[in-house]
Chain A
C-alpha cells in the first residue's frame, strides 16, 4: 500500500493516489500528501482506482482532506473508485458530501 502525489497546472490540481489497502496505517502519509498544498482554489483529485480496500478510518481521512481543501476554497473529487471501494462510499453516502467520478 502506498500514497503518491502528483501536482499539475501550477499547483492548481493535486492528484493523490492510494494503492492497495487504504486504512489507518496510511494516516500520516495521507495527511502529508496534501497538508503542504495551501494555495487557493486547489482541486484535489483522490484517485482510488487502485485501492483494494477501504475502512471507516479512511472515510474519516477523506473528510479531513475535504476540510483542508475547503479551508483554502478548494474542493475534493474522488476519481474512479474500484468496485469494492465504491460499495463502501455508497454505504457511507459520500456522493452527497463530495463529487465522485466513476
Chain B
C-alpha cells in the first residue's frame, strides 16, 4: 500500500462521520492526544481517505449516506489484511446489543456509545493503541523469524542435500511439514565403492528438530569417505547426538550400505518403520524392523546391536521411509498405512519411478488435508554402482591388482627418508616434515588428510610399542590410560639409544599415484603370526580401547604388512585425482 511520506512519529487518525460537528469534536480530542486528523463525511469517501493516507486509527460512524459504517469498515479491513492492524472504533448513539454485535462482525475493534466524556474517549483510544502496538510488534518479530528461518533453511539444504552422492539415480522424496524438515536424507560413496545411505527423522519438525542435521551430515560423510564401516559410523553418530542434543531430541534412523562387491546390503534400523528390499517385480524380499531405540537416546549402542546382512541382486531396490508417509491422513481420518505404501512402491518399481509414484499416491490419498509430519523416502537401486565407478573415477577402479603391477614395474618418482635416534627421536615429530615434503612435491590436496592419519598412527605405534616398549594393555581402563601416558613421558625423557626410520616412496599413475610408507623401529617387534590369528578371531570387536589405530590405518590404506620380527611396517596408499 502506498502511503504519503510522513514523519513516522506522528500518528494519523481518520474520522468518518456525516456530521461535520461530530468530526470537529473528535478531531479536537484526537489532536490533544497527538494525532494528525483527516475527516470524511460518508463511508465511500472514508475508504478513499483510508487508501490515500493509511492512518493508524479509524473512528467510524454507523449511519451515513452513500456507504454506511459497516460496509466501509469491511472494505477497510479487507484492504489492511497484510499490513499492521489499523484499529477501527465505531462511534454511535445506538446503544443496542445488535449494534455492538454487528460492529464487531464488520471488523470493528471496539465500539464507543455516545454520550461519552472526553476522558472516557481518550482512555478508549489509548487502550486500542496499546493493542495495535502489540500487534505490530508481533508482526515484526514474526517477519524477522521468517527471514532467519529462510536463510537457515537455504544454508542447511546447501550443506546437506547438495552434497549427496548420485542424486540422479537415488530417488528421494522430501516434503517438509514446515519450512524446515526434521527428516534428513544422506548418501555417500565409500572408498571401496560401497554406497552408504541414511534416512533420519528427528523428533518433531521445524527448526528445532533440524538443528542436529549439520553435525550428523558431516560425521556421516567424513566417516564414509574415510572408509569406516557402517557400524562404526552408526556408533559414532549415536554417541555424537547423545552428546549434542537435549534428552527429548533424538533421531530415528535407517541405514543401508550397498556393497556390489559382496552382493549384499547391510541394514540397520533404529526407530524407523521397516526398511524394505524390493525385487524388480515390486515383490517384498525382505523387511528390517527397528531393533534399536532411536539414536541419541543412549550413550552407547546396545551391546547386542548388529547390522542385518541380506544378499541382493542387481535389479533389487532398497527403500527407506519415515513414518510421515504411512501416517499421512485423508479427510476421513484414515492413515495411508503400509498396505497402500507397499502397493504404491510396487507400481513405482514397475514404472521405474518409485519416488514419483509413491508421492503421487500419497497426495491423491490425502487430497487437501494439511500435512502433519515430514514425509520422506529414499529409493536406492542395488545395481549399476560398479560400472559407475569405472566411468566416473577411472583409475580408482583400475582394480588394486593392476595398480600393483604398475607400481612394481615403475621406478619411484621420488623417495624421502628420515632416521631419528635417541634424544632427537624423543623431541621431534617427523610427521609434519613428511607432510610438507609431500605437499611441496605433489601439491596440496584434501586426501592428504588420510595420509596424515596413517603416518601419525604408524609412527606413534612404532615409538610407543616398538622403541619405548609400552604395552597397550595398560590402556584398557580409564586409570590405565593416564598411567600409560605418564609412563610414556618418563621413558621418552630417558631415551638414549632407540631409533626409528621413516621411508616414503611415491609411484605416480596417469592421474594419481601410490605412496609406500615403511617404518622401521629398533624395538623387539612382536609375534606377527599370533597377531593375525587373534585378529581373525576378534575381527568384529569394536569395543577395544587399544589397537584402534591399526584398524583405522587398515581402513585408510589398501594394504598393511608387518615384516621382520614385527618391527617393520609397510603400507600402501593409493590416491586418485
Residues of A within 8 A of B (CB): 24, 55-57, 59-61, 63-64, 67, 90-94, 96-97
Contact = CB atoms under 8 A, between A and B. Distances in A.
Given A92-B294, A97-B297, A57 B203 contact: yes
B292 A93 contact: yes
Nearest to B206: A24
B273 interface: yes
B204 interface: yes
Interface in B356-397: 373
Contacts of B302: 96
B272 interface: yes
Contacts of A67: 247
Given A56-B323, A60-B247, A91-B290, 19 more contacts: A56-B201, A56-B203, A56-B204, A57-B203, A57-B204, A59-B203, A60-B204, A60-B250, A63-B248, A64-B248, A90-B290, A91-B272, A91-B323, A92-B290, A92-B294, A93-B290, A93-B292, A93-B293, A96-B293
> Which 3 interchain pairs have the tightest Cβ spacing?
A60-B248, A57-B204, A56-B203
Contacts of A64: 247-248
Identify whether the interface residues of B are mostly helix, strand, loop, or mixed: loop
12 contacts: A56-B203, A56-B252, A57-B204, A57-B248, A60-B204, A60-B247, A63-B248, A91-B252, A91-B290, A91-B323, A92-B290, A93-B291
A59 B293 CA distance: 11
Nearest to B372: A55
Interface string B260-280: 000000000011110000000
A92 B291 contact: no
B146 to A, nearest CB: 20
Chain B contact-residue range equals 20 to 34
B249 interface: yes
Contact of B273 (A61, A91, A93): A91
Interface of B: 201, 203-204, 247-250, 252, 270-273, 289-294, 297-298, 302, 323, 373
Contacts of B291: 93
Which of A56, A60, A63 counts the most B-chain CB atoms under 10 A from its CB?
Answer: A56
B133 to A, nearest CB: 28
Contacts of B249: 60
Contacts of B272: 91
Nearest to B201: A56
A61 B204 CA distance: 11
B252 to A, nearest CB: 7
A75 to B, nearest CB: 16
A66 to B, nearest CB: 8
B549 to A, nearest CB: 32
A42 B231 CA distance: 38
B293 A92 contact: yes
B290 A60 contact: no
Which of B201, B247, B249, B252 counts the most A-chain CB atoms under 10 A from its CB?
Answer: B247
A56 B293 CA distance: 12
B209 to A, nearest CB: 9
A60 B247 CA distance: 7
Contacts of B294: 56, 59, 92
A61 B273 CA distance: 20
A63 B241 CA distance: 15
B489 to A, nearest CB: 40
Contact of B298 (A57, A91, A97): A97
A9 B379 CA distance: 54
Nearest to B249: A60
